[in-house]
Chains A and B, each alone.
Chain A
Amino acid sequence: MEVARFWRTTGQRYQLTGEVCPNCGNKIFPPRDVCPACEHEAKTPYTFSGKGEVYSYSTIHAAPEGFEKYVPYTVALVRLEEGPLITAQLTDVDTKDVKVGMPVEMVTRVLREDGERGMLVYGYKFRPVLAGPR
């Protein structure tokens, strides 16, 4: 990942920060400054709770460059509790245990590293919910 692009997207990658539409209240991720529901301008930052559930998933056995060491791993479409669907890698779970509807939560992990000398890229992944409210 190029350094400038890395730097511009830290908010959304580290904290799951998107936007909320001031017109209809729609929560938007990734941020795009225009509400996809009502086309109103939407630039108000909104940090998502990180809670959601697995909407669909697929297990990767032949990984793209930079992800080989993680195989086999699961990439899921996660439905956030605020509405948006986002694509993310699942972590701390065995591929055979992943199920549609499984409650998951966002964690910040190493996404990839640019070789031995390059930058470490951190960002969101999702894992099975560890503990509920007590």
Chain B
Amino acid sequence: MALMKPVRSVGIVGYGAYVPRYRLASAEIGELWTDGNAITPVKQKSVPGLDEDVATMSIEAARNALRRATGVAPDKLGAVWVGSESHPYAVKPTSTIVAEALGATPHTQAADWQFACKAGTEALQAAIGFVGSGMSDYALAIGMDAAQGRPGDALEYTAGAGGAAFLVGPAESAIAEFEGSVSYVTDTPDFWRRQHERFPEHSGRFTGEPAYFHHITSAARELLDQTGLHPADFRYAIFHQPNAKFPLKVGEDLGFTRAQIEPGLLVNEIGNTYAGSSMIGLTAVLDIAAPGDRILLVSFGSGAGSDAFSIRMKETVDHHGAPATRDYVRRSLMINYATYSRFKENYKLN
């Protein structure tokens, strides 16, 4: 398949991250369920407070994106799109709540996107097309999750909260330009959650090789082939981060070095933020990238598929007081399992 590139060149005009304040150490979970014998996939994960959900976290990330997008008034947004697998309502869009809080209503497109951990980059692909076709000058694509893992399950160690928002606009006013993207999807039964079920199911043997590794390497190789680029042409590479091992391993398989991957690798500190995972890796990199730097972004969503993007940094970022991604990562308060359980509302108060 050919490289996807819009008629009009587009880029990232503004971006913003969000991570909640609370952290739960993997050791704390392992102590409870395995007498401390668990091999933990990350050091700790982020946990949302009692008054936080995908709508509130998206609002803060989007406000940060608008602060960095000098001169873009909220009513200029032609689309507000939120990709997540933990939308607060089963029926009622998250995106209208976010659009209202930003001041983008009523003349805007609003929609919620779903594709497991790829929901955010799915919205990003669509935003590139929406702006690139001239339907609108600006579209906001958000990837955000407050992930749930069944108590004691392997996913409980990594299911984190947070994500990022990207304001896509014309390349002339962008800080970074999209050079091209590809999508790669197949029907793979690696992970799912049925309607009305609280926790997801996963089929252990499908999660690694035929799911994560196959889709990411296929999408990344296709992008490299179509653009004629090589791993050495990129200053940074970000891969979906379900644990600390997979992104380093898949990067190595593709010919990328730790030095290219580590600046965008946050999973050890905040856990797997699902739809936000690769996208918040990108905001961490945009915080430090210099004009001319090229960035590879490859997401992965169970079910399954990957989106791969080549992004070229154009300008030095003007932050206008918006916190850096690492400011949110550093703002951390360790909690114990009892407090975590309370935040998950596992205690009946009346």
Contacts and interface: CB of A to CB of B under 8 A. Distances in A.
A82 interface: no
Contacts of B328: 130
Contacts of B327: 130-131
Contacts of A109: 49, 51-52, 56
A68 interface: yes
Contacts of A133: 319-321
A115 to B, nearest CB: 11
Contact of B323 (A15, A122, A130): A130
Given A107-B56, A134-B319, A70 B101 contact: no
Interface residues of A, number: 22
B50 interface: yes
B275 to A, nearest CB: 20
A92 B49 contact: yes
A109 B327 CA distance: 20
Q: Of residues B51, B320, B327, which shows the largest number of chain A Cβ atoms within 10 Å of its Cβ?
A: B51
A126 B320 CA distance: 20
B321 A120 contact: no
A70 B50 contact: yes
A110 B51 contact: yes
Contacts, number: 61
A27 B88 CA distance: 34
A131 B321 CA distance: 7
Contact of A125 (B51, B320, B323): B51
B349 interface: yes
A132 interface: yes
Nearest to A93: B21
A111 interface: yes
Contacts of A44: none
Contacts of A47: 103
Interface string A9-30: 0100011000000000000000
A122 B97 contact: yes
B60 A134 contact: no
Contacts of B88: 120
B349 A69 contact: yes
Given A91-B51, A108-B56, A133-B319, A69 B345 contact: yes
Contacts of A108: 56, 59-60, 101
Contacts of B345: 69
3 tightest A-B contacts by CB? A131-B323, A109-B51, A14-B101
8 contacts: A10-B100, A69-B342, A92-B21, A111-B51, A120-B53, A122-B101, A130-B327, A133-B320
Given A14-B100, A108-B59, A134-B321, 14 more contacts: A14-B59, A15-B101, A15-B102, A47-B103, A68-B349, A69-B349, A91-B49, A108-B101, A120-B89, A125-B51, A131-B321, A131-B323, A131-B324, A131-B327
Interface of A: 10, 14-15, 47, 68-70, 91-92, 107-111, 120, 122, 125, 130-134
